[in-house]
Structure 1
Amino acid sequence: MHFQWYPGHMTKAKRQMQEDIKLIDVVIELVDARVPLSSKNPDIDELAKNKSRIILLNKYDLASQKYTEEWKKWFESKGYFVALVNSKSGSGVKAVHEVIQKACKEKIERDRKRGILNRPIRAMIVGIPNVGKSTFINSFAGKACAKTGNKPGVTKGKQWIKLNKNVELLDTPGILWPKFEDQTVGLRLAFIGSIKEEILNITELSMEFIKFMHSKYSGMLEKKYEIEKSEDSLETLQRIADRRGCKLKGNELDVNKAAGIILDDYRNGRIGRITLEFPEITETVLEDTKAIDEGKEIDQSK
């Protein structure tokens, strides 16, 4: 499968961010805890390179607890301040105030020495489509001040949100980079629902997900759907379709309907807490990328 989704308003949003970043003290980036690196926009690193950075691992309740803790340590080792949040339930959201204060400690101290007291910290909230930014802001602010939806691309314009006397938030539309250099990134984002389904082949996508599950979480699909194990993705999909009564006229199996059920079940945590990428593998990929950039040979034994 080939992935590409970059509506025109995202180009405009990126240009606007380049201007807005000058007004900001700290950049808060929401990532999906199931795909922390794939859901992290690499453009933000360049745009916010001189700012304090906070990573919020959102939807951590849908991800493996073990791997989420590993990702938290991984990001902290890279110099980020990190918090775990569930923007939907509000879990962990209050603790973000404390993280903001920690991230801006030097800035607050500089202001104090200049005699500037109680100047609000200005924070920018960023994240890719459908990562839960608007829901987080509503939960963080305690009122529905940002439009929410369960489809990518709901937030379309710039909004300043005054939380309290200490913090002001600048919300931005979620932006994806113009091209997925690694199609595996696109695949993972499609799994979690960050790419519009109108441009996807749901049956193919579901079979790719089944293939991943067989490789990394063997037995979970069979347990969830009460089916016999098969290493073949299509056969597994057909068995799930049969088990769920997904039928077309003539009693033919409706694999497309079953594919939609599987993806919806995954996205809503009904299959289990499943992380799609892992810190130790990420380190290997980053080392290999650096080696290529420096003209070195890659260690194929990893």
Structure 2
Amino acid sequence: MPQPIQWYPGHIAKAERQLKEQLNRVDVVLEVLDARIPYASHHPQFDEWVQDKPRVIVVNRRDMIPSETLTQWRDWYQSQKLQPVFTDAQKGKGVKGVIKAAQIAGKAMNDRRISRGMKPRPVRAVVMGLPNVGKSALINRLVGKKVVASARKAGITKQLRWVRISDQIEMLDAPGVIPWKLDNQENAIKLAICEDIGAASYDNELVAQALVKLLVDLNLNQVLGDRYELETGEMSGEDYIIALGEHRFQNDKERAAVALLNDFRKGNLGLLPLELPT
């Protein structure tokens, strides 16, 4: 039985505590999800923390899924009475929609202030999400310059920081928060595949095997044949990684697994969603 994937760096417990304290001060919550895995990248306690605060669903990495999948997700969220904003934070696509949505969601706060004879103030928004879903890249795009550290790996942001986006919006950049225990191991594997969790928490070979199985289950496995000139046929994920190691990497299964994961993460296999709305 493989060791379950668990990852909870020391800074996250502190960040989670501080985030809960700051939630009392914010007017609107922006939840950033990974477009490849919107279900798996949703924190199971998010609704409990946010309660009835206005929220904006930001589905990032829209450039990594096909347009028809994006439309399916938009329709699904709208059926849930939610208006998602789809972004590519690295290239700045869709970020104006985030500002507009945050302003609309925060308008009720200023309406209340004005009705009490108080002056309007900037909307306070918090950017929440799991590690490495693109929160910091999104804030840098919103500000128009690099104000927070951003990189393609989990755990870069380690403390909370307020950033002024404009005269109308202040935004709190929070470290990625992840459940202290990953009870749903199917989701944990998807997070590992998408690099939304620390690399020390998983075995590359097992995660690459799981990616092969997912692609087969979603009828997307032809991308593997196209990329590596090696069809999956009736092979299991484990058999495919062994065969790929023999075919391309001098019998090195680990190199084959890492190459496959990196190709998926960089988009070299094409636009591949790992989840579809149900």
TM range (shorter): over 0.9
2:38 is the alignment partner of 1:40:
no
Bigger CA drift: 82-91 or 109-118?
A: 109-118
Alignment of 1:41-190 (within 5 A): 41-190=43-192
User: Is the radius of gyration larger for structure 1 or structure 2?
Assistant: 1
How far is the alpha carbon of 1:243 from its aligned partner? 4.3
User: What residue in structure 2 maps to residue 272 of structure 1?
Assistant: 270
Bigger CA drift: 136-145 or 196-205?
A: 196-205
2:222 is the alignment partner of 1:224:
no
1:17 to 19, 30, 35: 19
Amino acid in structure 1 at the alignment position of 2:155: G
How far is the alpha carbon of 1:71 from its aligned partner? 2.0
How far is the alpha carbon of 1:80 from its aligned partner? 3.2
Measured in 2, the distance between the counterparts of 1:49 and 1:274 equals 32
TM-score normalised over the length of structure 1? 0.86
- CA contact 1:203–1:256 (8 Å) conserved in 2: yes
Measured in 1, the distance between the counterparts of 2:232 and 2:121 equals 60
How far is the alpha carbon of 1:239 from its aligned partner? 3.9
Q: 1:138-189: CA deviations, max 9, x gaps?
A: 1111111111122211101110101111000011111001112221010110
Measured in 1, the distance between the counterparts of 2:44 and 2:81 equals 15
1:262 to 250, 260, 263: 260
Amino acid in structure 2 at the alignment position of 1:228: E
Measured in 2, the distance between the counterparts of 1:26 and 1:191 equals 30
Measured in 1, the distance between the counterparts of 2:46 and 2:76 equals 18
User: What residue in structure 2 maps to residue 284 of structure 1?
Assistant: none
- CA contact 1:34–1:64 (8 Å) conserved in 2: no
How far is the alpha carbon of 1:114 from its aligned partner? 3.0
Bigger CA drift: 16-25 or 106-115?
A: 106-115
Amino acid in structure 2 at the alignment position of 1:267: R
Superposition RMSD in Å: 1.6
How far is the alpha carbon of 1:117 from its aligned partner? 4.2
Amino acid in structure 1 at the alignment position of 2:241: L
How far is the alpha carbon of 1:234 from its aligned partner? 3.3
Q: 1:113-138: CA deviations, max 9, x gaps?
A: 33444410000111111111111111
Secondary structure of the equivalent of 2:45? Answer: helix
**Divergent runs of 4+, >6 A:** none
Amino acid in structure 1 at the alignment position of 2:231: E
Measured in 2, the distance between the counterparts of 1:95 and 1:214 equals 35
Gaps of at least 5 residues in structure 2 are none
